[in-house]
Structure 1
């Protein structure tokens, strides 16, 4: 279902002449939906899908980009977002533990 929705969004992006965005979506969708696989513990899925930390980061990025208004190119927007992410991960958020990763290790088979 998620893959079908992503494909319809990619087609919509292409009709709007946003080919690079459509390409990025198609290339990244499998990584984005990895948490839906049975390898992940069920109790982790909701936290991986979305959480307050991610939502807060998204709000912070929106707040910063609205101040600028319009960017000269995509690279400058990306630089602003990356700078904000670096700041956030180097501060209070990076010290919190959100998932018990030992539970994840129990369910993932080790390759020989």
Structure 2
């Protein structure tokens, strides 16, 4: 009787799992943004009713770096009312845990070049030296307080 031997490529499986998690995070955040827009307008997409507060005017894409990788958000645009989401701070491009990790690396005396390499390996995108410098300034100000 011959035994079947199954070989698994761990790197491929890890990559597929990471993509699955990143996709799930992206989908969930986009659904939350849509739900927020529905609540603000008091109507679903294409729904007409008397209580409606504003109108949809498409959406714009925005990138956000999370611990699962870069995700693309579809932020709804509204007419008649302003849309300020409670999910993600305005102008924020990175999840706060990502910023905390960058500051932690700085405090552990990791070089800027090494931080770039680490961020690319962990989240799939490099963080620029100027961004690292700005975060380091924030950490320095908070450590003096």
Verify same fold: TM over 0.5. Answer: no
- Whichever structure has more strand as a proportion of its residues is 2
Q: Max radius of gyration: which structure?
A: 2
Structure ranking higher on relative contact order (CA contacts 8 Å, 6+ apart): 1
Relative to total residues, which structure has the larger helix share, 1 or 2? 1
